[in-house]
Protein backbone atom coordinates (compact mmCIF):
# COMPACT_ATOMS: atom_id res chain seq x y z
CA UNK A 1 0.00 0.00 0.00
CA UNK A 2 1.43 3.40 -1.01
CA UNK A 3 2.17 5.86 1.82
CA UNK A 4 -0.11 8.94 2.09
CA UNK A 5 0.99 12.06 0.28
CA UNK A 6 1.80 15.28 2.11
CA UNK A 7 -1.47 16.72 0.83
CA UNK A 8 -3.38 13.87 2.42
CA UNK A 9 -1.56 14.45 5.69
CA UNK A 10 -2.37 18.17 5.48
CA UNK A 11 -6.02 17.46 4.96
CA UNK A 12 -6.09 15.30 8.08
CA UNK A 13 -4.40 17.88 10.29
CA UNK A 14 -6.18 20.97 8.88
CA UNK A 15 -9.45 19.73 10.27
CA UNK A 16 -8.06 20.18 13.78
CA UNK A 17 -8.44 23.52 15.53
CA UNK A 18 -4.82 24.18 16.41
CA UNK A 19 -1.69 22.35 15.30
CA UNK A 20 0.15 23.04 18.55
CA UNK A 21 -2.41 21.15 20.58
CA UNK A 22 -2.52 18.08 18.29
CA UNK A 23 -2.93 14.88 20.26
CA UNK A 24 -0.22 12.30 19.44
CA UNK A 25 -2.83 9.79 18.32
CA UNK A 26 -3.64 11.81 15.21
CA UNK A 27 0.00 11.66 13.99
CA UNK A 28 -0.03 7.88 14.41
CA UNK A 29 -2.56 7.61 11.60
CA UNK A 30 0.27 8.36 9.14
CA UNK A 31 2.40 5.27 8.39
CA UNK A 32 5.49 7.28 7.44
CA UNK A 33 7.80 9.07 9.92
CA UNK A 34 6.16 12.45 10.63
CA UNK A 35 7.40 15.36 12.72
CA UNK A 36 5.99 18.73 13.58
CA UNK A 37 8.47 21.59 14.01
CA UNK A 38 8.17 25.17 15.24
CA UNK A 39 9.59 28.14 13.37
CA UNK A 40 12.94 27.63 15.08
CA UNK A 41 12.95 24.04 13.78
CA UNK A 42 12.52 22.59 17.23
CA UNK A 43 10.36 19.49 17.70
CA UNK A 44 6.75 20.00 18.68
CA UNK A 45 5.45 16.53 18.05
CA UNK A 46 6.53 13.27 16.35
CA UNK A 47 4.84 10.00 15.60
CA UNK A 48 6.11 6.60 16.66
CA UNK A 49 7.47 5.85 13.17
CA UNK A 50 9.77 8.87 13.37
CA UNK A 51 11.05 7.88 16.82
CA UNK A 52 11.61 4.29 15.65
CA UNK A 53 13.59 5.48 12.64
CA UNK A 54 15.64 8.06 14.53
CA UNK A 55 15.97 5.89 17.68
CA UNK A 56 15.55 8.93 19.88
CA UNK A 57 12.92 9.13 22.58
CA UNK A 58 10.42 11.93 22.50
CA UNK A 59 12.09 13.41 25.57
CA UNK A 60 15.44 13.48 23.82
CA UNK A 61 14.00 15.03 20.69
CA UNK A 62 12.42 17.85 22.70
CA UNK A 63 15.91 19.02 23.62
CA UNK A 64 17.06 19.13 19.96
CA UNK A 65 16.20 20.92 16.76
CA UNK A 66 15.88 19.17 13.40
CA UNK A 67 19.29 20.34 12.17
CA UNK A 68 20.90 18.30 14.96
CA UNK A 69 19.79 15.24 13.01
CA UNK A 70 21.00 16.33 9.57
CA UNK A 71 24.23 14.90 8.16
CA UNK A 72 26.90 17.64 8.14
CA UNK A 73 27.66 17.11 4.44
CA UNK A 74 24.16 18.20 3.45
CA UNK A 75 23.41 20.62 6.28
CA UNK A 76 23.75 23.74 4.11
CA UNK A 77 21.44 22.34 1.45
CA UNK A 78 18.80 21.43 4.05
CA UNK A 79 18.97 24.89 5.64
CA UNK A 80 18.39 26.46 2.22
CA UNK A 81 15.50 24.12 1.57
CA UNK A 82 13.87 24.89 4.91
CA UNK A 83 14.28 28.59 4.29
CA UNK A 84 12.51 28.19 0.95
CA UNK A 85 9.71 26.33 2.74
CA UNK A 86 8.54 29.55 4.34
CA UNK A 87 7.92 31.04 0.88
CA UNK A 88 6.81 28.06 -1.19
CA UNK A 89 3.71 25.95 -0.54
CA UNK A 90 5.72 22.76 -0.42
CA UNK A 91 9.35 21.73 -0.60
CA UNK A 92 10.87 18.32 -1.35
CA UNK A 93 14.51 17.45 -0.92
CA UNK A 94 16.72 14.41 -0.35
CA UNK A 95 19.27 14.24 2.43
CA UNK A 96 20.48 12.00 5.24
CA UNK A 97 19.54 12.14 8.89
CA UNK A 98 21.71 10.62 11.61
CA UNK A 99 20.09 8.34 14.16
CA UNK A 100 21.12 8.04 17.77
CA UNK A 101 23.18 4.93 16.77
CA UNK A 102 25.06 7.18 14.27
CA UNK A 103 23.50 5.45 11.29
CA UNK A 104 23.10 7.68 8.27
CA UNK A 105 19.57 7.24 7.02
CA UNK A 106 18.78 8.50 3.52
CA UNK A 107 15.41 10.23 3.48
CA UNK A 108 13.19 12.28 1.22
CA UNK A 109 11.76 15.25 3.12
CA UNK A 110 8.43 16.72 2.13
CA UNK A 111 7.85 19.93 4.10
CA UNK A 112 4.99 22.37 4.45
CA UNK A 113 4.35 25.33 6.79
CA UNK A 114 0.93 25.51 8.37
CA UNK A 115 0.52 28.56 10.54
CA UNK A 116 3.20 28.57 13.20
CA UNK A 117 4.22 24.96 12.60
CA UNK A 118 6.13 23.08 9.90
CA UNK A 119 4.94 19.63 8.98
CA UNK A 120 7.68 17.26 7.74
CA UNK A 121 7.11 13.85 6.21
CA UNK A 122 10.29 11.74 6.22
CA UNK A 123 10.29 8.98 3.62
CA UNK A 124 12.82 6.32 4.53
CA UNK A 125 14.95 5.63 1.46
CA UNK A 126 17.16 2.92 2.90
CA UNK A 127 15.46 0.17 0.94
CA UNK A 128 15.56 2.31 -2.19
CA UNK A 129 19.27 3.05 -1.67
CA UNK A 130 19.99 -0.58 -0.92
CA UNK A 131 18.15 -1.57 -4.06
CA UNK A 132 20.03 1.05 -6.11
CA UNK A 133 23.35 -0.03 -4.60
CA UNK A 134 22.54 -3.66 -5.25
CA UNK A 135 21.46 -2.76 -8.75
CA UNK A 136 24.70 -0.87 -9.35
CA UNK A 137 26.63 -3.81 -7.94
CA UNK A 138 24.78 -6.19 -10.23
CA UNK A 139 25.38 -3.88 -13.17
CA UNK A 140 29.09 -3.80 -12.38
CA UNK A 141 29.16 -7.56 -11.99
CA UNK A 142 27.26 -7.97 -15.24
CA UNK A 143 29.57 -5.52 -16.98
CA UNK A 144 32.58 -7.42 -15.64
CA UNK A 145 31.10 -10.74 -16.73
CA UNK A 146 30.41 -9.31 -20.18
CA UNK A 147 33.98 -8.02 -20.30
CA UNK A 148 35.29 -11.40 -19.17
CA UNK A 149 33.06 -13.14 -21.71
CA UNK A 150 34.27 -10.87 -24.49
CA UNK A 151 37.86 -11.38 -23.38
CA UNK A 152 37.30 -15.13 -23.27
CA UNK A 153 35.68 -14.99 -26.72
CA UNK A 154 38.69 -13.07 -28.07
CA UNK A 155 41.12 -15.50 -26.46
CA UNK A 156 39.08 -18.45 -27.70
CA UNK A 157 39.06 -17.03 -31.23
CA UNK A 158 42.79 -16.44 -31.00
CA UNK A 159 43.25 -20.05 -29.88
CA UNK A 160 41.04 -21.25 -32.73
CA UNK A 161 43.01 -19.16 -35.22
CA UNK A 162 46.26 -20.49 -33.76
CA UNK A 163 44.89 -24.04 -33.89
CA UNK A 164 43.86 -23.60 -37.54
CA UNK A 165 47.28 -22.19 -38.34
CA UNK A 166 48.95 -25.13 -36.57
CA UNK A 167 46.68 -27.56 -38.45
CA UNK A 168 47.64 -25.90 -41.74
CA UNK A 169 51.30 -26.13 -40.79
CA UNK A 170 50.93 -29.78 -39.82
CA UNK A 171 49.05 -30.56 -43.04
CA UNK A 172 51.74 -28.78 -45.01
CA UNK A 173 54.46 -30.69 -43.16
CA UNK A 174 52.55 -33.94 -43.69
CA UNK A 175 52.16 -33.19 -47.38
CA UNK A 176 55.85 -32.34 -47.60
CA UNK A 177 56.72 -35.52 -45.73
CA UNK A 178 54.57 -37.59 -48.10
CA UNK A 179 56.11 -35.81 -51.08
CA UNK A 180 59.61 -36.39 -49.77
CA UNK A 181 58.83 -40.04 -49.08
CA UNK A 182 57.86 -40.36 -52.77
CA UNK A 183 60.71 -38.27 -54.18
CA UNK A 184 64.22 -39.18 -55.21
CA UNK A 185 66.68 -37.02 -53.28
CA UNK A 186 69.09 -36.48 -56.16
CA UNK A 187 66.88 -35.86 -59.18
CA UNK A 188 63.66 -34.56 -57.56
CA UNK A 189 61.45 -36.96 -59.54
CA UNK A 190 59.51 -39.86 -58.02
CA UNK A 191 61.46 -42.67 -56.39
CA UNK A 192 61.41 -46.44 -56.90
CA UNK A 193 58.90 -47.13 -54.12
CA UNK A 194 56.34 -44.65 -55.43
CA UNK A 195 56.79 -45.98 -58.98
CA UNK A 196 56.05 -49.54 -57.83
CA UNK A 197 52.94 -48.40 -55.91
CA UNK A 198 51.58 -46.41 -58.85
CA UNK A 199 52.32 -49.10 -61.44
CA UNK A 200 50.52 -51.67 -59.30
CA UNK A 201 47.52 -49.30 -58.92
CA UNK A 202 47.39 -48.66 -62.66
CA UNK A 203 47.51 -52.38 -63.44
CA UNK A 204 44.66 -53.07 -61.00
CA UNK A 205 42.68 -50.25 -62.57
CA UNK A 206 43.18 -51.75 -66.05
CA UNK A 207 41.77 -55.05 -64.84
CA UNK A 208 38.53 -53.32 -63.86
CA UNK A 209 38.42 -50.69 -66.60
CA UNK A 210 40.46 -51.83 -69.62
CA UNK A 211 42.46 -49.04 -71.28
CA UNK A 212 45.95 -48.73 -72.79
CA UNK A 213 48.97 -48.62 -70.49
CA UNK A 214 52.67 -48.74 -71.34
CA UNK A 215 55.97 -48.61 -69.52
CA UNK A 216 59.26 -47.01 -70.58
CA UNK A 217 62.51 -48.26 -69.05
CA UNK A 218 65.40 -45.88 -69.72
CA UNK A 219 69.08 -46.53 -69.01
CA UNK A 220 71.99 -44.11 -69.57
CA UNK A 221 74.56 -45.66 -71.90
CA UNK A 222 78.07 -46.12 -70.50
CA UNK A 223 77.20 -44.09 -67.41
CA UNK A 224 79.91 -45.74 -65.27
CA UNK A 225 82.48 -44.64 -67.85
CA UNK A 226 81.11 -41.06 -67.71
CA UNK A 227 81.07 -41.05 -63.90
CA UNK A 228 84.59 -42.45 -63.58
CA UNK A 229 86.07 -39.98 -66.07
CA UNK A 230 84.25 -36.84 -64.91
CA UNK A 231 83.71 -37.46 -61.20
CA UNK A 232 80.64 -38.12 -59.12
CA UNK A 233 79.54 -34.48 -59.05
CA UNK A 234 79.43 -34.35 -62.84
CA UNK A 235 77.70 -37.72 -62.84
CA UNK A 236 75.03 -36.40 -60.45
CA UNK A 237 74.50 -33.35 -62.68
CA UNK A 238 74.07 -35.65 -65.67
CA UNK A 239 71.47 -37.72 -63.77
CA UNK A 240 69.51 -34.58 -62.89
CA UNK A 241 69.66 -33.33 -66.49
CA UNK A 242 68.49 -36.69 -67.91
CA UNK A 243 65.60 -36.78 -65.42
CA UNK A 244 64.52 -33.30 -66.57
CA UNK A 245 64.80 -34.25 -70.27
CA UNK A 246 62.67 -37.36 -69.71
CA UNK A 247 59.99 -35.25 -68.01
CA UNK A 248 60.01 -32.87 -70.97
CA UNK A 249 59.66 -35.74 -73.41
CA UNK A 250 56.64 -37.43 -71.84
CA UNK A 251 53.15 -36.00 -71.27
CA UNK A 252 51.95 -34.23 -68.14
CA UNK A 253 49.75 -37.19 -67.20
CA UNK A 254 52.67 -39.62 -67.31
CA UNK A 255 54.66 -40.62 -64.21
CA UNK A 256 58.47 -40.42 -64.32
CA UNK A 257 60.61 -42.04 -61.62
CA UNK A 258 64.18 -43.03 -60.90
CA UNK A 259 64.29 -46.80 -60.91
CA UNK A 260 67.80 -47.01 -59.46
CA UNK A 261 71.34 -45.88 -60.31
CA UNK A 262 71.33 -44.55 -63.89
CA UNK A 263 68.03 -46.24 -64.73
CA UNK A 264 64.69 -44.41 -65.08
CA UNK A 265 61.10 -45.48 -65.76
CA UNK A 266 57.98 -43.77 -67.04
CA UNK A 267 54.39 -44.98 -66.70
CA UNK A 268 52.50 -43.87 -69.81
CA UNK A 269 48.79 -43.52 -69.01
CA UNK A 270 46.38 -44.39 -71.86
CA UNK A 271 49.23 -45.07 -74.25
CA UNK A 272 49.39 -48.21 -76.43
CA UNK A 273 52.56 -49.62 -78.00
CA UNK A 274 52.70 -47.22 -80.96
CA UNK A 275 52.18 -44.14 -78.77
CA UNK A 276 54.74 -45.43 -76.29
CA UNK A 277 57.31 -45.90 -79.08
CA UNK A 278 56.64 -42.35 -80.24
CA UNK A 279 57.11 -40.90 -76.75
CA UNK A 280 60.19 -43.08 -76.14
CA UNK A 281 61.78 -41.92 -79.37
CA UNK A 282 61.15 -38.29 -78.43
CA UNK A 283 62.87 -38.85 -75.07
CA UNK A 284 65.85 -40.64 -76.73
CA UNK A 285 66.28 -37.88 -79.27
CA UNK A 286 66.05 -35.07 -76.66
CA UNK A 287 68.88 -36.63 -74.64
CA UNK A 288 71.04 -37.50 -77.64
CA UNK A 289 70.77 -33.94 -78.96
CA UNK A 290 71.65 -32.35 -75.61
CA UNK A 291 75.30 -31.44 -74.98
CA UNK A 292 76.82 -32.76 -71.76
CA UNK A 293 80.25 -31.78 -70.38
CA UNK A 294 83.03 -34.00 -71.80
CA UNK A 295 80.59 -36.32 -73.54
CA UNK A 296 83.05 -36.66 -76.45
CA UNK A 297 85.09 -38.94 -74.17
CA UNK A 298 82.23 -41.46 -74.12
CA UNK A 299 82.75 -44.69 -76.11
CA UNK A 300 80.10 -43.55 -78.61
CA UNK A 301 81.26 -39.87 -78.40
CA UNK A 302 77.89 -38.82 -76.97
CA UNK A 303 75.83 -39.20 -73.76
CA UNK A 304 72.81 -41.24 -74.81
CA UNK A 305 70.15 -43.56 -73.41
CA UNK A 306 68.71 -46.93 -74.36
CA UNK A 307 64.95 -47.31 -73.98
CA UNK A 308 62.57 -50.25 -73.83
CA UNK A 309 58.78 -50.34 -74.14
CA UNK A 310 56.40 -52.80 -72.45
CA UNK A 311 52.65 -52.52 -73.03
CA UNK A 312 49.87 -53.95 -70.90
CA UNK A 313 48.06 -56.82 -72.58
CA UNK A 314 46.14 -59.99 -71.63
CA UNK A 315 49.47 -61.82 -71.56
CA UNK A 316 51.10 -59.13 -69.38
CA UNK A 317 48.70 -58.60 -66.51
CA UNK A 318 51.04 -58.68 -63.52
CA UNK A 319 53.60 -56.15 -62.39
CA UNK A 320 56.42 -58.69 -62.48
CA UNK A 321 55.58 -59.75 -66.06
CA UNK A 322 55.47 -56.15 -67.27
CA UNK A 323 58.81 -55.30 -65.63
CA UNK A 324 60.44 -58.46 -66.95
CA UNK A 325 59.26 -57.68 -70.47
CA UNK A 326 60.59 -54.12 -70.22
CA UNK A 327 63.90 -55.38 -68.80
CA UNK A 328 64.32 -57.92 -71.63
CA UNK A 329 63.63 -55.25 -74.25
CA UNK A 330 66.16 -52.93 -72.60
CA UNK A 331 68.76 -55.70 -72.75
CA UNK A 332 68.09 -56.06 -76.49
CA UNK A 333 68.50 -52.30 -76.96
CA UNK A 334 71.87 -52.41 -75.16
CA UNK A 335 73.01 -55.44 -77.12
CA UNK A 336 71.81 -53.88 -80.38
CA UNK A 337 74.21 -50.93 -80.09
CA UNK A 338 72.63 -48.60 -77.50
CA UNK A 339 71.05 -45.17 -78.17
CA UNK A 340 67.98 -46.93 -79.46
CA UNK A 341 64.49 -48.05 -78.47
CA UNK A 342 63.15 -51.62 -78.35
CA UNK A 343 59.70 -52.96 -77.57
Active-site choice (19, 262, 263, 342): 262
Q: Judge whether 241 and 286 are in contact, CB under 8 Å.
A: no
Q: Which of 271, 269, 265 is nearest to 308 (CA)?
A: 265
Alpha-helix runs per DSSP H in the chain: 6-14, 24-27, 48-54, 58-62, 75-85, 126-181, 192-208, 223-230, 232-249, 273-288, 319-335
Q: Judge whether 104 and 71 are in contact, CB under 8 Å.
A: yes
Q: List own/partner pairs for 226-230 with CB under 8 A and 24 or more apart.
A: 226/292, 226/294, 226/295, 226/297, 226/298, 226/303, 229/294, 229/297, 230/293, 230/294, 230/297
Q: Which of 41, 94, 49 is nearest to 68 (CA)?
A: 41
**Quick check: is 155 catalytic?**
no
- Planar angle of CA 241, 203, 285, nearest 5 degrees: 30
Supply φ then ψ for residue 268, to 5 degrees.
-100, 105
CA 237 to chain centre: 48
Could you give the residue numbers annotated as active site? Answer: 262
Amino acid sequence: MAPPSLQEVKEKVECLEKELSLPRGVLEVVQEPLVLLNQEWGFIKTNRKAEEMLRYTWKELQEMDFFDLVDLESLGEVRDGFAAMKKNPEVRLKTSVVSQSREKIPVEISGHFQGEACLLLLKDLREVVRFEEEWEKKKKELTEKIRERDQYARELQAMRDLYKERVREIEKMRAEAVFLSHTDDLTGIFNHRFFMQQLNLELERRKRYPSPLSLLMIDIDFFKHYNDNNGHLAGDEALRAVALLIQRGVRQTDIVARYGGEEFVAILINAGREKALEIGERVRRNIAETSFPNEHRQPNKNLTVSISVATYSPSLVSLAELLRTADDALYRAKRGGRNRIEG
